[in-house]
Chains A and B, each alone.
Chain A
């Protein structure tokens, strides 16, 4: 296997790990705080579970797609 493909896979892996770390924080760490997100002026726990997490996920997927496409192009491995 050529080193071009290996480098491409290394970069893909590190991007995926970054995505998964952000995913884990938004999915689990934030909601573990739970009640601590609420303040008298704003229902933070309700907001993060009902809206905040979802919006971050959506942005994260689009960001991942564009980064991964750039990686593919960098190594000339995108679809022709």
Chain B
């Protein structure tokens, strides 16, 4: 890569420091362009083009023909940078685009995602990641296949990985399409394919190595893009310098307004609801943690499913295969969590300040209580209405916008916030670049997880164990393009919302893989038959339940809906795995020795190839 004294790894701080300064300089330059009268559309194009070109440039610089580099970035990524890359890998279009909007529309119950998507890392650090790093796998099915032995166990893990990750990746490519369509004013379907081209450029030539270093670059873009508007709003609205501390006064103000505006009492009329379709009005208080047992249970189950999913999603676990030691794999989980908190701790503040910008009659940008003609003449209202993301329906005919007459899609909160809050257009361009970075970085990790599992586990380990390095890496790349194309095709059909697809991916992963992974390390008695029963049973029953609830008109059992079907899959997986393991022979001495080996950090990595 770039020629630096002491090599690239020794100069990471310098490289990414300069890169960050360069990016901030670019943002300021765009601000100057805007002041000089350059059109909004051109600024949007420049933001997207500039960032995507940088990612592609990093991807090309990191090209490699070595398997260790391609599959695990040479196992030399320092803990802090791996944490940053994991954070970008982790925070998808759902986190960046949909999360604040979800909190905005659904309030406290939605915050279960925030708890689940962070607490899962405690499980990753304490139960799984360091042990898999010691094992030295290239992929997650590689661990399952070697620990339990036999091609069938490996094959089951590959299938679950592909289903979970593919569900997830279509949502990400959908996200890139949405952002590209919005920022570049091009049709969604075209946006999807352009997004895919960018994604493939980052991953194809350099595999994990290229994805690692682009993900670090993408984290920097996405976090800058997420933080700036929130800091700006907090200060503009006069709540204080740091939004994270200032948000509690804002929450109190929102709660005051909830009573005045009738949030939760003034509900949309049936006709308006029918006309609004998938768009929603604000009906839930910002901090209504209901005391009902069902509400508590739903919070609990969502948190648990998202946590166990975090600890079993292969594209996350494989990031910890790239650290330079077991010790650093653990520390790296901590860094990941801190970098993730950078965005997650900001999402509630973003939702709250956006609410104030729209609702508080003392704020110039507010729309509730204004006349319908005035509101529908606002530029951002018109733009988002034109693409069907927003609607004002004057259902009582009084010519004034009430809280039950303003409908929108949650997804637009982040993307439209700069316009809602009256910030300059350059911030909108920045946010679009950030959303693109979030969706692309996750899509990269997911596509690589799928292609690597198929090329390493299915092709090399099962179909053709004699294949040479060159053939393996060519197969990996061809698969990457095919899967990416399939993902973009499915995304262009717009089957599910971004969030629905993401929650499904978590439940597929935890139903099939959580217990086989955890017990593989923590229970020596777990054997091949048990693991296969756990994977097939948990995944099969979970998928059946999802199908019945989602498409078969079955009433969810105990409030366990499609977002939480891991609550069905996981117990089935655990029980089957324990019972079948105990009914069959214990694993051979070699396997027991393998488990002993991965439980201690010292000693050589033996199972890498």
Do B602 and A61 touch across chains, with their CB atoms under 8 A apart? Answer: no
Name the B residues within 8 Å of A54 (CB-CB).
114-115, 118, 337, 341, 344-345
Do B334 and A65 touch across chains, with their CB atoms under 8 A apart? Answer: yes
Q: Of all chain B residues, which has the CB nearest A63?
A: B334
The answer to whether A27 and B327 touch (CB under 8 A), given A54-B341, A65-B125, is: no
Do A50 and B345 touch across chains, with their CB atoms under 8 A apart? Answer: yes
The answer to whether A46 and B122 touch (CB under 8 A), given A62-B334, A65-B330, A77-B601, is: no
Do A50 and B348 touch across chains, with their CB atoms under 8 A apart? Answer: yes
At the interface with chain A, which of B183-191, B295-303, B413-421? B295-303
Cβ-defined partner of A58 (8 Å) among B115, B290, B326, B338: B338
CB distance from A12 to the nearest CB of B (A): 7
Q: Report if B123 contacts A (CB, 8 A).
A: yes
Do A31 and B299 touch across chains, with their CB atoms under 8 A apart? Answer: yes
The answer to whether A79 and B602 touch (CB under 8 A), given A1-B596, A58-B334, A61-B334, is: yes
Do B287 and A43 touch across chains, with their CB atoms under 8 A apart? Answer: yes
The answer to whether A50 and B111 touch (CB under 8 A), given A5-B596, A34-B290, A78-B327, is: yes
Interface residues of A in 14-71 (CB under 8 A from B): 16, 19-20, 23, 26-28, 31-32, 34-38, 42-43, 45-47, 49-51, 53-55, 57-58, 60-62, 64-65, 68-69
Q: Of all chain A residues, which has the CB nearest B244?
A: A51
Cβ-defined partner of B118 (8 Å) among A45, A57, A64: A57
Bound form: Cα–Cα A64–B1 in Å: 35
Name the A residues within 8 Å of B103 (CB-CB).
50
Main secondary structure on chain B at its contact with chain A? Answer: helix
Q: Report if B252 contacts A (CB, 8 A).
A: yes
The answer to whether A72 and B601 touch (CB under 8 A), given A28-B303, A43-B251, is: yes
**How many residues of chain A have a CB within 8 Å of chain B?**
45
Name the B residues within 8 Å of A8 (CB-CB).
599-600
Name the A residues within 8 Å of B248 (CB-CB).
42-43, 46-47
Name the A residues within 8 Å of B116 (CB-CB).
27
Bound form: Cα–Cα A73–B255 in Å: 52
Name the B residues within 8 Å of A23 (CB-CB).
119, 122-123, 126
Name the A residues within 8 Å of B122 (CB-CB).
19-20, 23, 57, 60-61, 64
Bound form: Cα–Cα A9–B325 in Å: 19
Q: Of all chain A residues, which has the CB nearest B348?
A: A50
The answer to whether A49 and B344 touch (CB under 8 A), given A61-B121, A65-B334, is: no
Q: Which of A12, A20, A36, A57 has the most CB of B within 10 A?
A: A57
Cβ-defined partner of B331 (8 Å) among A38, A60, A65: A65
CB distance from A78 to the nearest CB of B (A): 6
CB distance from A44 to the nearest CB of B (A): 9
Bound form: Cα–Cα A50–B600 in Å: 36
Name the A residues within 8 Å of B123 (CB-CB).
23
CB distance from B136 to the nearest CB of A (A): 12
The answer to whether A58 and B337 touch (CB under 8 A), given A26-B119, A46-B286, A50-B348, is: yes
Name the A residues within 8 Å of B288 (CB-CB).
35
Bound form: Cα–Cα A62–B330 in Å: 8
Name the A residues within 8 Å of B255 (CB-CB).
43
Do A45 and B596 touch across chains, with their CB atoms under 8 A apart? Answer: no
Do B125 and A61 touch across chains, with their CB atoms under 8 A apart? Answer: yes
Bound form: Cα–Cα A58–B338 in Å: 6
Name the A residues within 8 Å of B325 (CB-CB).
79
Do B601 and A27 touch across chains, with their CB atoms under 8 A apart? Answer: no
The answer to whether A27 and B289 touch (CB under 8 A), given A8-B600, A46-B251, is: no
Q: Report if B108 contacts A (CB, 8 A).
A: yes
Name the B residues within 8 Å of A36 (CB-CB).
291
Q: Of all chain A residues, which has the CB nearest B125?
A: A61
Do A35 and B341 touch across chains, with their CB atoms under 8 A apart? Answer: no
Do A62 and B331 touch across chains, with their CB atoms under 8 A apart? Answer: yes
Q: Of all chain A residues, which has the CB nearest B299?
A: A31
Known: A1-B596, A49-B111, A57-B119. 12 other contacts (CB 8 A): A5-B596, A8-B599, A19-B122, A27-B119, A28-B300, A45-B289, A50-B347, A57-B121, A61-B334, A65-B327, A65-B331, A76-B602
Tell me the A residues contacting B by CB distance below 8 Å.
Answer: 1, 5, 8-9, 12, 16, 19-20, 23, 26-28, 31-32, 34-38, 42-43, 45-47, 49-51, 53-55, 57-58, 60-62, 64-65, 68-69, 72, 76-80
- 9 smallest CB-CB distances across A and B, nearest first, come from A50-B348, A34-B289, A49-B111, A45-B289, A65-B330, A61-B334, A62-B334, A46-B287, A77-B600
